[in-house]
Amino acid sequence: MTRRKLAVMLVHGVESAGEQYADRAMRLLGEEFTRIAGVPAAEALVMEPAFWAPVFEPGQEQLSERLGGSSSRFLLGALDKLASRASQGSTLALLAAASTAGLRWLPGLGDAHFPTLRWLIVHYLGDAVAYHSGTDGTGHYEQVQATLARSLHTLAEKAGGDAPLAVLGHSLGSVVSSDFLYDLQCAGEGRPLASPARAELGDTPIERGETFGWYYTLGSPLALWAQRHPGFGVPLTVPHPEFSERHPRQRGEWINVYDPDDIISSRLRPLSDAWAAAVTEDRRVTVGPWPLGLTPLAHPYYWNERRVIVPIASALAQAWHRL
């Protein structure tokens, strides 16, 4: 049994509704890694989800109840369950949720018309607004960072403090992970990390971000976030500036995976010369079953698709053999 390990963190987007969100993605990644590397994934990879959704759940529930009343709990609970299954690649769940989008009114919900679309706004747009608003001291941003820090510490314990790190971020999870890894890099340059995150981390190379080498942004809205800054800002450095010193045989990469039919995602390299230098490749894919894959409903499917997972597993297999 090998002792060499690669650490992999999976960071969900706003579509998640349950901590099992990454189960199918981890299974697919494990299967393809085993096939390509010729080594059981259980012996070579340590995969850890970063489940940050609970930071916003209390506020979402309160807002939904105040808009739709207590009688809305049943519908909202049903939609949450469907979203949970859809985030793991269930087309039936996605279609079931989408089929209710045209309902203008339901008994007991008062004047909260289009309840499913309201639920969608609270969960999707609401998470993004609440996360960004946390940078003004309300605590959301710091709490999310602490969640990712906790997962990184777990990876350090399971994979080793010097294990090379790959991060997969889907949807808003690409923004969340980019912010965390960027702040971690800045902490190495003397800028303090948020105290809740700092409290979760030990003092190992992986927890300082120094072994971070592979970044996969899937269905990412980072381009929308970048427009907040002049010239679209300064992107994350991938791999970490210290990566080559820690793992000189490794190369690292930032692959931004997007489907042109997914209106949330986009290319990143055209944003600026800095982004073109940071992002190795904008990888165009088609995700989701026909005909959903030809619509914006393609968005939840990225890391449930073998056509997305196989190239990632191949890169990690090559990296493992270079350890």
323 residues of the chain, pLDDT tens digit each: 457 899 999 999 876 556 788 899 999 999 999 999 999 999 999 999 999 888 877 676 676 666 666 666 666 677 777 777 777 778 887 787 777 777 776 665 666 677 777 777 777 777 777 787 555 555 688 999 999 999 999 999 999 999 999 999 999 999 999 999 999 999 877 777 888 999 999 999 999 999 999 999 999 999 999 988 899 999 999 999 999 999 999 999 999 999 999 999 999 999 999 999 999 999 999 999 988 889 988 998 998 899 999 999 999 999 999 99
Q: Which residues pair with 67 in a beta bridge?
A: none
Q: Residue 241 has which token pair?
A: 């500036």
Instruction: Tell me whether strands 45-50 and 281-284 are parallel, antiparallel or unpaired.
Output: unpaired
The domain defined by 6-55+138-321 folds into Rossmann fold (3.40.50)
Residue 300: helix, strand or coil by DSSP? helix
Q: How far is CA 179 from the centre of its chain?
A: 11
The torsion defined by the Cα of 109, 100, 259 and 280, in degrees rounded to 10, comes to 30
Q: Distance between CA atoms of 234 and 185, rounded to whole angstroms?
A: 12
Q: Cα separations (Å) of 65 from 110, 120, 134, 143, 212?
A: 12, 14, 22, 24, 41
pLDDT of residue 1: 47
Q: Are 165 and 242 in contact (CB under 8 A)?
A: no
Name residues whose C-beta falls within 8 Å of residue 244's C-beta, 6 or more positions apart in sequence: 250
Three-state secondary structure call for residue 264? coil
Note the pLDDT of residue 187: 87
Sequence ranges of the domains in the chain: 6-55+138-321, 57-128
Nearest-5° Cα angle at 269, 266 to 270:
80
| Amino acid 64: pLDDT | 63
For 75-111, how does the pLDDT look when each residue is reduced to its tens digit (9 = 90+)?
A: 667 777 777 777 777 888 778 777 777 777 666 566 6
Through-space distance between the first and last CA atoms of the chain, rounded to whole angstroms: 15
Task: Give the H or E element holding residue 51.
Answer: none
Cβ contact 239:212 at 8 Å = yes
Give dist(CA 84, CA 102) in Å, integer. 21
- For strands 45-50 and 6-11, give the pairing: parallel
